[in-house]
Structure 1
């Protein structure tokens, strides 16, 4: 009788303790979520790669209001605390070497300018750190611009000066194909074995002007040549760690990440699932291989309609393996372990990677999720703010100071 009573008391005590722990855990989680929202609201958040202009060029939407499509609009940006999304002035590789390259870039810039002109109380074009800080103080979203693909430069250094005046503050030297500046990580043709002679001159002129050199998309050889000649820390505006995607040259190896940090630069983590996990990275090639096997075995002729039909069925049988918030955090952790806290930031590629964004990071309202995840992994508030903008702003200020002295 006494033993049974003692056991019951112990069981009750254990149950009460578990309930108390659960309550504390729930309260702690709530506190972290509240802190994440606070940090997002009081900190400049810079995302160095958002493909809104190309999306709007394809199909115009008023992103100053809520939109049904895409990953970015004003209400979602405000909810996420996003203050300075770099608008990607993207030029497809098919325009390389043609007058259309420059005119297309001008069209993309005009879209950003229209966004700001149509809703000046919400958006403002920004061309300097001071502009970003002023817009933040004024409660307006700054729209700095980066050029994705250097093909609009068209082999003429004078065009670097021109696009600087138009507001471009970084240039991704190449995109999916080798161009007049650099070889591409995606292009098996390595016509320059890195940078062209013009590319060497372009890097130097970009430094003099205050245009950041972006090594996302370039070949490994081009990366190492940039490291040798750059007088200002370069950036990787939307790349991730190759450690998690072996053989994927578009991401950066550990050696490259260390070298970029040694130069003072930053790697801005790309959210696309194929950049984040090996499983997602191999999904596309496996699907394409299955398609080729399918048409060969059935004596069919390749066509766009046939491929779309096959891919739809393939995805039903083999769902896409989306990365998660934790997978993205793993990339940040990896860079920090390699280099320290001062050399990593965010370059999501929102509106640029289609329906491949990680669970928990599906649009620009989700930065508080990332912040909360960083807090749970033990990052201090000071370190989180470096990731959100401090590290990139340091590099941008360095570029501005160098340009002012040259």
Structure 2
């Protein structure tokens, strides 16, 4: 399951007492009305990994989860991209394919269990028809191309299963691309296979997602793609200097120049400078942990305990308390830099261990985001673009490019 601190057990979060600030005042009636009327698209929700870890019926109230049907309807969420996340470890041990298919199965089971509440979504052209009757629509985004292995035909396989974007890499280099988190660069951009993957994604109509990858890999993917690309959940590096996981101004402009969209996340690790610094340090620390354990095993010595490492790290690095203004500032900056037509939202709900900005803690809280945008002077038409109109336009262009 994807997390900002991806190896930290979610169960540790409440026990360690991460800082919680009071939520902002309730959203206005106007904000709530717009949330219900607009098409809200969130390009990154990590519910599938949680479903395979421990099944919970998300068609009813699911305590402790940030996404479920009642919360979605309360917040006005219409299109929730389910993240099919696999880790670098699963890539290394050959289990990524199995894990990805199990997560897709779990999303299909959820829709089959509640056909009146959920529907699978495979094309932006089906949004209006399928969301009739207050359904929440569930397209799939694959976070980390590891399940593809080294077989280009697997793109067709996962397209047929409903995957409509692929984040090329995640926390480490894979067969496709380098990761922003890894100090070493295996490919210095995309691999030769990765270039083929981008071309085949264009042919099929799968969105190329450059969140998580290195600057060199993102730059190459944007240049090679014949259709717009997306950053499914990337904040702006302007606010977190040195944090390559967030997108640079240069790359954001390149995405916009080619018609794409940058989707802003809500996790403190992305929008808070201290959170970003801790996240970068954690990935380096965990890589060093794995290196040392490999040396210990090679020497016939017992390995260090992973759970103890995770607990100690979390206790030493509590998530900063961050106001909703941090997300609103990101949106303001993005609009000024790349234009209102190239900005959207990719929350990372259920993927960051509860480490979210105040006022945006579940999918029920989208009215708070709208309220904040209204307070900053955004007009309704532009708010609708940010909430989902831009992403749907880009998705339609990528689908048309495949045809």
Larger radius of gyration: 1
* Structure 1 counterpart SS, 2:180: coil
- 2:348 corresponding residue in structure 1: 349
- 1:384 corresponding residue in structure 2: 383
Closer/same/farther in 2, CA of residues 390 and 100 from structure 1, 3 Å limit: same
Closer/same/farther in 2, CA of residues 248 and 284 from structure 1, 3 Å limit: closer
* Structure 1 counterpart SS, 2:233: strand
CA drift of 1:99 comes to: 4.3
- Contact 1:280 / 1:322 at 8 angstroms: preserved in 2? no
Closer/same/farther in 2, CA of residues 325 and 196 from structure 1, 3 Å limit: same
Question: Counterparts of 2:308 and 2:51 in 1: how far apart (Å)?
Answer: 28
Structure 1 gap segments, 5+ residues each: 1-28, 293-300
**Alignment: residue pair count:** 364
Match of residue 143, structure 1, among 114, 123, 138: 138
- 2:67 corresponding residue in structure 1: 72
Query: Which runs of structure 1 show a deviation greater than 6 angstroms over 4 or more consecutive aligned residues?
Result: 285-290
- 2:115 aligned with 1:120: yes
CA drift of 1:189 comes to: 2.5
CA drift of 1:133 comes to: 2.0
- 2:99 aligned with 1:104: yes
Matches within 5 A, 1:284-295: none
Structure 2 gap segments, 5+ residues each: 1-24, 289-302
- Contact 1:172 / 1:217 at 8 angstroms: preserved in 2? yes
- 2:360 corresponding residue in structure 1: 361
* Structure 2 counterpart SS, 1:137: coil
Matches within 5 A, 1:182-221: 182-221=177-216
Closer/same/farther in 2, CA of residues 185 and 375 from structure 1, 3 Å limit: same
Structure whose residues are more often helix by fraction: 1
- Contact 2:181 / 2:280 at 8 angstroms: preserved in 1? no
- 2:58 aligned with 1:63: yes
- 2:246 aligned with 1:256: no
CA drift of 1:400 comes to: 1.1
Matches within 5 A, 1:5-84: 33-84=28-79
- 2:241 aligned with 1:242: no
Closer/same/farther in 2, CA of residues 306 and 147 from structure 1, 3 Å limit: closer
- 2:141 aligned with 1:161: no
CA drift of 1:38 comes to: 1.0
Relative contact order, higher structure (CA 8 A, sep 6+):
2
- Contact 2:38 / 2:384 at 8 angstroms: preserved in 1? yes
- 2:127 corresponding residue in structure 1: 132
